[in-house]
Amino acid sequence: MDNNVICEGCGSILQTEDEKEIGYIPKSSLQKKNLLCKRCFQLRHYNKHETVSLDSDDFLDLVSTIRDTDSLIIHLIDIFDVDGTLLKSLPRIVGTNPIILVGNKVDLLPKSTNQRKVRNWLFNQAKEAGMNVLDVFLISSMKSYNIEELAMEMETRRENKDIYVVGVTNVGKSTFINHFIKRSTGIKEAITTSYFPGTTLGFIEIPLDRNSALIDTPGIVNRHQMAHYVSKNDLKIITPKKEIKPRNYQLHRGQTLFIGGLARLDFIKGAKQTFVCFFSNEVPIHRTKLENADALYERQVSELLSPPDQETLSILPPLVKRAYRLNEPYTDVVFPGLGWVTILDSDVTVEAYSPKGVNISIRKSFN
Ligand code: GDP
């Protein structure tokens, strides 16, 4: 191939040999009018740049270069899936650089949620993960909630340094970055990150001033996220689009709740009480007798108990069970990526099921 042919997006020399190397273009695309390397093509058309896998060897090498910089880190997470999106390896990646933890998608929490409790909880989660955070912000990239406040804080905290935005895929990083592109360029309509030159590491720099930039890093794939175990269609159903309406179930012990067919909660011991369910309004919840639950699942998974659809069913790991004894009132049983159930009383035993690899957790309720 002619050595002088360059990508119109990033200016790298185009090549058709190695997909993993800079400037790769599939042979079939060479006939096109606008020549773009695969990466710029994806950027321009999907407004996404490459993702890296958390368990791949290249990952740490790639992103850990942040450790050698002097910068401010914005760690963007999805407050609806903290277990799946809070990067436990962040301190190793960013070294001693200061971190602001930003919980996105706050618009999905019911209005009754106590945001102060959510922030405190996030502070604690970060601390447990060994992360020393300067501050915690709750924002909605989609609804532009609290973004200006965060932007102001970023400006004071960065002390003229670069800002790196780090996050797992699907937390809303593209939506977030687009806000800052609009802010820094003053252009009102949505433009994409493809307007900015990328570096060889897949980092994209959006200038903040003459000497510093907001740097978008590749989205990180965390294999333990529910999102990777479901079909595109099911992901749409389980991802809440608007404020979650809590659903109440009066349960006796010996009863079971199915969350579609993706999770299950058995009420083993405790007085009759209300279980408050926080899941996407489109996910059906089904109540049944514990003694019938196995048979119902066998017969009805992907039918009455859906999602999963057939496509998800072919990739979904089997449901695994864990027992929990809850000694405190107002405890949440959290199914990462799906939602949670608040149990109001203490002295309760439940058994909770989730797909193997997507670990359930317990926390004090926000309400
Ligand atoms: P990325 O993979 O991290 O770049 O995430 P995207 O920006 O593509 O967003 C992933 C999904 O989350 C999309 O369906 C967005 O519409 C949605 N999303 C992003 N930000 C928000 C938010 O603040 N609230 C809600 N409810 N959804 C959001």
Q: Which helix (H) or strand (E) holds 182?
A: helix 173-185
Question: Mean pLDDT over residues 349-365, rounded?
Answer: 94
HSE-up (13 A, CA, CB side) for residue 366: 22
What pLDDT band is residue 9 in, cutting at 50, 70 and 90? low
Residue 49 structure tokens: 């740049």
Of 109-113, 179-183, 236-240, minimum mean pLDDT range: 179-183
**Whole-number pLDDT of residue 155:** 94
Contact 77, 245 (CB under 8 A): no
Contact 73, 173 (CB under 8 A): no
**Whole-number pLDDT of residue 36:** 80
Question: Mean pLDDT over residues 223-238, rounded?
Answer: 89
Separation of CA 170 from chain center: 5
**Whole-number pLDDT of residue 52:** 58
**Whole-number pLDDT of residue 42:** 67
Ligand 1 neighbours (beta carbon < 6 A):
104-105, 107-108, 140-142, 167, 169-175, 219
Of 101-110, 191-200, 226-235, 288-297, minimum mean pLDDT range: 191-200
Residue 119 structure tokens: 């922030």
Residue 83 structure tokens: 């277990």
Distance CA 165, CA 216 (A): 5
pLDDT tens, position by position, 160-197: 999 999 998 889 998 898 888 887 777 665 555 555 55
What is the pLDDT of the chain when averaged over all its residues? 88
Concatenating the DSSP letter of every residue in 208-268 gives: SSSS-EEEEPPEEE-TTSGGGGS-HHHHHHHS--S----EEEEE-TTEEEEETTTEEEEEE
- 362 vs 223, which has greater pLDDT? 362
Question: Mean pLDDT over residues 110-125, rounded?
Answer: 93
Instruction: State in Å: Cα 32 to ligand 1 middle.
Output: 31
pTM: 0.82
**Whole-number pLDDT of residue 63:** 75
* Distances in whole angstroms, Cα of residue 2 to Cα of each of 21, 23, 34, 36, 346: 17, 13, 16, 15, 72
What pLDDT band is residue 139 in, cutting at 50, 70 and 90? very high
Q: Which of 211, 94, 100, 93 is nearest to 161 (CA)?
A: 211
Of 131-140, 143-152, 182-191, 336-345, minimum mean pLDDT range: 182-191
Instruction: State in Å: Cα 16 to ligand 1 middle.
Output: 33
**Whole-number pLDDT of residue 224:** 80
Instruction: State in Å: Cα 164 to ligand 1 middle.
Output: 19
Ranges assigned E (strand) in 260-359: 263-269, 273-279, 285-289, 319-326, 331-335, 339-343, 348-355
Q: Which atom of ligand 1 is nearest to the CA of 175?
A: 7
**Whole-number pLDDT of residue 258:** 98
**Whole-number pLDDT of residue 272:** 96
Q: Which atom of ligand 1 is nearest to the CA of 171?
A: 3
233 Cβ neighbours under 8 A, 6+ residues apart? 307, 309, 311
Domain residues of the chain, as ranges?
1-46, 49-221, 229-364
3-state secondary structure of 349: strand
Distance CA 131, CA 334 (A): 22
- 51 vs 339, which has greater pLDDT? 339
**Whole-number pLDDT of residue 100:** 98
Q: Which atom of ligand 1 is nearest to the CA of 145?
A: 23
pLDDT tens, position by position, 41-85: 766 655 555 565 555 556 666 677 899 999 999 999 999 889 889
Residue 194 structure tokens: 């493809």
Conformational region of residue 146, where left means phi above 0, alpha means psi within -120 to 50, and beta covers everything else: left
Asked whether the predicted pLDDT for residue 303 surpasses 90, the reply is: yes
Per DSSP, 34 falls in state S
Amino acid at 137: F
Asked whether the predicted pLDDT for residue 23 surpasses 90, the reply is: no
Residue 281 structure tokens: 């309004």
Instruction: State in Å: Cα 206 to ligand 1 middle.
Output: 20
Ligand 1, atom 13: closest residue by C-alpha: 172
Asked whether the predicted pLDDT for residue 205 surpasses 60, the reply is: yes
Instruction: State in Å: Cα 172 to ligand 1 middle.
Output: 3
Please determine, looking at this structure, whether the domain spanning 49-221 carries the CATH number 3.40.50.300: yes
Q: Which atom of ligand 1 is nearest to the CA of 141?
A: 23
Give me the numbers of helices (H) and strands (E) for the chain, helices first please. Answer: 10, 18
Of 1-5, 53-57, 301-305, give the range with the top mean pLDDT: 301-305
Residue 271 structure tokens: 């007085």
Question: Mean pLDDT over residues 142-158, rounded?
Answer: 95
pLDDT tens, position by position, 253-271: 999 999 999 999 999 999 9
